Amino acid sequence: MEVIWSSINTHQFAVVAIVAVALIVIYFLFKNLIKLALLFLLVMILAGGYFYLAAPKKSPEDLNRAIEKTQEQTAEIIDKGKVAYEKGKEVVQRGKELTDRFGKVIGGSPGRE
């Protein structure tokens, strides 16, 4: 433990560089997620503003309905994505089987390049 602390104290520039690189990597990893969250927030604000301007007395009901509809559609999309993922796994498995059979037919061992 003392070795780690002494190396941190003696190589402070390296520690600062590593932290800076880690922060940059984290930024690039989450950049798309942050953009998506900001876009979602903007859409929600615009939808709320539209419902409020269209009918100020009914806007909370309309906004709640819009949120429920979005949640339902999101659930449907997730279910479709799961089905597509399962089909993709089946296709990959079939492809592996065909590759193995083809390798056996031409006389090579499977998995050998």
Q: pLDDT digit string (tens) for 31-73? A: 878 888 888 889 888 887 887 787 777 667 777 888 888 889 9
Q: Which domain holds residue 19?
A: 1-54
pLDDT above 70 (res 22): yes
Domain shared by 1 and 48, yes or no: yes
> CB-based burial of residue 62 (10 Å sphere; 0-12 exposed, 13-18 middle, 19+ buried)?
middle
- pLDDT for residue 40: 86
> CB-based burial of residue 103 (10 Å sphere; 0-12 exposed, 13-18 middle, 19+ buried)?
middle
Q: What is the mean pLDDT of the chain?
A: 81
Q: What is the DSSP string of 48-77?
A: HHHHHHH-TTTHHHHHHHHHHHHHHHHHHH
Domain shared by 41 and 65, yes or no: no
pLDDT above 70 (res 112): no
Domain shared by 48 and 92, yes or no: no
Cβ atoms of residues 110 and 100 within 8 Å:
yes
Domain shared by 48 and 69, yes or no: no
Domain shared by 37 and 74, yes or no: no
Q: What is the mean pLDDT of residues 6-17?
A: 80
In the DSSP assignment, the letter for residue 112 is: -
